[in-house]
Amino acid sequence: MKNDNENNALSDPKLNDEIFLKQLGAFLKRMRIASGFPTIRAFVDTIGMSYSQYQGYEKGKNITMLILKRIFSEFNLQVEDWLKIDIFNIDTNDPEVIEKIRTTRLNQVIEQVRTIDSEKAALLLRPVDVQRYVDILIHCHIPKSRSYILDKLVRLDDTHNTFQRVAGKLIMYGWLDYTNKESKNSPSQSYYTTEAGKKVLRLREGK
């Protein structure tokens, strides 16, 4: 029979590498969701990593420091922050943690609008407008219909005018596009996030 010390070593993530990696994977999953990415697919498409590769990390697959640095940067966690993180106890429901991630990405979107449109367009954006941009770009990694975007995602009336007001700029900026460009008004029309739209969401330096 194993003594108490052996049992403790087997269950202690600081001593057992397998448990440590599983808890690290659970932390990555919590942070991904807190960052606004409900699915692995939307997150990996944004950061430019394969689905199977990243899914393995959330399941506890061995991960290098460079890969961890890349993923953490998408959570707005810089190298100097790492030693301050308790991955076993951190509460990702902490408003300060979530707000820091959300605000950084929203500010990045505003800056991109300022760059490709105008200072006036950026100043006219309300926080709710920018959050809708982010939500649409995240969810449309897999093409979505107008009704899904308006009714299910941003919860507004499903009309052409509303869609133009909410998502028209995303199309104009080249961040969102039609799946059927030959018949843009088709009832079966869907919209997808372009590569440019994915880059807008990416926080990592050297995008």
In contact, 193 and 175? CB cutoff 8 Å: yes
Average confidence (pLDDT) over 45-71: 90
Which residue is associated with the tokens 């999953």?
Answer: 29
pLDDT single digits (tens) 92-146: 555 676 777 888 889 999 999 999 999 999 999 999 999 999 999 999 999 999 9
Higher local confidence (pLDDT), 69 or 90: 69
Average confidence (pLDDT) over 3-16: 53
Across the chain, mean pLDDT equals 84
Pairing mode, if any, of strands 190-193 and 144-145?
Answer: antiparallel
pLDDT at residue number 98: 72
Domain map (residue ranges) of the chain = 4-84, 95-201
CATH 3.40.190.10 assigned to domain 4-84? The reply is no
pLDDT at residue number 206: 41
H/E segment holding residue 73: helix 65-74
Beta partners for residue 82, in sequence order: none
pLDDT at residue number 19: 84
pLDDT at residue number 146: 95
pLDDT at residue number 15: 60
Where does the pLDDT of residue 88 fall: very low under 50, low under 70, confident under 90, or very high at 90 and above?
Answer: low
pLDDT at residue number 185: 84
The DSSP string of 121-186 is HHHH--HHHHHHHHHHHHHTTS-EEHHIIIIIIS-----HHHHHHHHHHHHHTTSEEES-SS-TT-
Question: Between the CA of residue 58 and those of 62, 155, 201, what are the distances in Å?
Answer: 10, 31, 21
- Closest listed residue to residue 55, CA positions, set 42, 66, 65: 42
In contact, 112 and 196? CB cutoff 8 Å: no
Average confidence (pLDDT) over 154-169: 92
Beta partners for residue 177, in sequence order: 192
* Contacts for 14 with CB less than 8 Å, ≥ 6 apart: 20
CATH 1.10.10 assigned to domain 95-201? The reply is yes
Helix, strand, coil distribution of the chain in percent, nearest 5: 60, 5, 35
